[in-house]
Chains A and B, each alone.
Chain A
Amino acid sequence: DAGITQSPRHKVTETGTPVTLRCHQTENHRYMYWYRQDPGHGLRLIHYSYGVKDTDKGEVSDGYSVSRSKTEDFLLTLESATSSQTSVYFCAVSREDTEAFFGQGTRLTVV
């Protein structure tokens, strides 16, 4: 257990509304990641962070923004949710060049 908490665990929201997902860690990992997982696509990287206020885009970053103002928190924001963003979102953490540990996931449905 790497002390990772994702919130909320489930959310249903309407198209066009903003949504923020939170990832909280307790063990001071430098790297934090947001992935989405959809059938047939595996885990796709949305954004990641390599330190406070240091973030970079992944392969599916359009429509998403992130913020990391504290080591322990990494927020993922959908500025205006669309049905194509219905997915399972996983947060992960790691240290330099080591394995990643995952949160339990957030199931987001955009209707």
Chain B
Amino acid sequence: RKEVEQDPGPFNVPEGATVAFNCTYSNSASQSFFWYRQDCRKEPKLLMSVYSSGNEDGRFTAQLNRASQYISLLIRDSKLSDSATYLCVANQAGTALIFGKGTTLSVSS
């Protein structure tokens, strides 16, 4: 079983929509969590870290639910420039970072 699972999508939404992605992880010892963004044929780049209390950065909100072992990313007021693949990561200290396969978002005008 893959340690980190995501719905691959694609999610096709109009500009201005709110969209949410979920990601489940199987290792209960995972301690740190992140969301990355990857544009076509480019390297992944950190979008935001995910904290237990939840955190927000502008239009983006990340949540962590340790009891159910999932993390989420909410994007409000979607922009065309948000079109990308979003990768979640769960990490146990001292081990390698394991990525989900990614969720593809396409925002249209």
Contact = CB atoms under 8 A, between A and B. Distances in A.
Interface in B22-44: 31-32, 34, 41-44
Interface in B81-108: 87, 89, 91, 93-94, 96-102
A100 B43 CA distance: 11
* Chain B at the A interface: SS class: loop
Q: How large is the interface on A (under 10, 10 to 19, 20 to 34, 35 or more residues)?
A: 20 to 34
Contacts of A101: 46
* Chain A at the B interface: SS class: strand
B87 A42 contact: yes
B93 A96 contact: yes
B49 interface: yes
Contact of B96 (A58, A88, A99, A105): A58
A5 to B, nearest CB: 12
A77 interface: no
Interface stretch (A21-29, A43-51, A66-74, A79-87): A43-51
Contacts of B59: none
Interface of A: 31, 33, 35, 40-43, 45, 48, 50, 56, 58, 88, 90, 92, 94, 96-105
